[in-house]
Amino acid sequence: MAKSSPTSLWLWLALAAVIVLADQFTKTLIIAAFDHGEALRVTSFFNLTRHHNPGAAFSLLADAGGWQRWFLSAVAIGASAFIIWLLHKHHSQRLFAFAIACIMGGAIGNLVDRLLHGYVIDMLDFHFRWLQPVFHGGHFPTFNLADMAISIGVIGIILDEILRVRRSR
């Protein structure tokens, strides 16, 4: 393994910081423009809304009574520390470093919400008739920019692993 270059490590940390800033900026706009539960129809399949999620993805643990705020915050802090270590060790693996920087940026974006508000602010509401058998009213769970970054990061990790396995053959 190559030694970590401070410049390359800072590049990935800067990417995570940009994600956090963009996420918090969009959430600030939503807080200013919408009351909780209010929605604006943008297209036939997309609404901007303001939703509060005290749980994790898909509202997992949303009704857990409050302890989940601190548990999920601790998970985000621990994951971010681990990701910084991974970035230090694997900064030259561009796809992998990009992916985990996205995950860290998303985790910290949602962490800021949990610490400031006690819940995560979601605003992107996609709904399609073909989703009705799986989601109430065909509405995919409302999400935010941080969630998108985490999803992009997970896809990046999967792609990186597929490419790594192919190269090893």
Contacts of 150 (CB under 8 A, 6+ apart): 102, 103, 106, 107
Statement: residue 18 has pLDDT above 70: yes
- Range 109-113 average pLDDT: 95
- Residues linked to residue 65 through DSSP beta bridges, in sequence order: none
| The one catalytic residue among 23, 113, 125, 147 | 147
Q: What is the pLDDT of residue 65?
A: 67
Statement: residue 2 has pLDDT above 50: no
Better-predicted residue by pLDDT, 37 or 5: 37
Mean pLDDT over the full length of the chain: 89
- Is 28 exposed, middle or buried, given 0-12, 13-18 or 19+ CB atoms closer than 10 A? exposed
Q: How confident is the model at residue 115 (pLDDT cuts 50, 70, 90)?
A: very high
Q: How confident is the model at residue 112 (pLDDT cuts 50, 70, 90)?
A: very high
Q: What is the pTM of this model?
A: 0.87
* 122 carries an active-site annotation: yes
Better-predicted residue by pLDDT, 93 or 71: 93
Residue 68: both structure tokens together: 């989940």
Distance in angstroms (rounded) separating the CA atoms of residues 17 and 120: 18
The answer to which of 61-65, 132-136, 138-142 has the lowest mean pLDDT is: 61-65
- Size of the chain, expressed as the number of residues it contains: 169
Distance in angstroms (rounded) separating the CA atoms of residues 101 and 150: 9
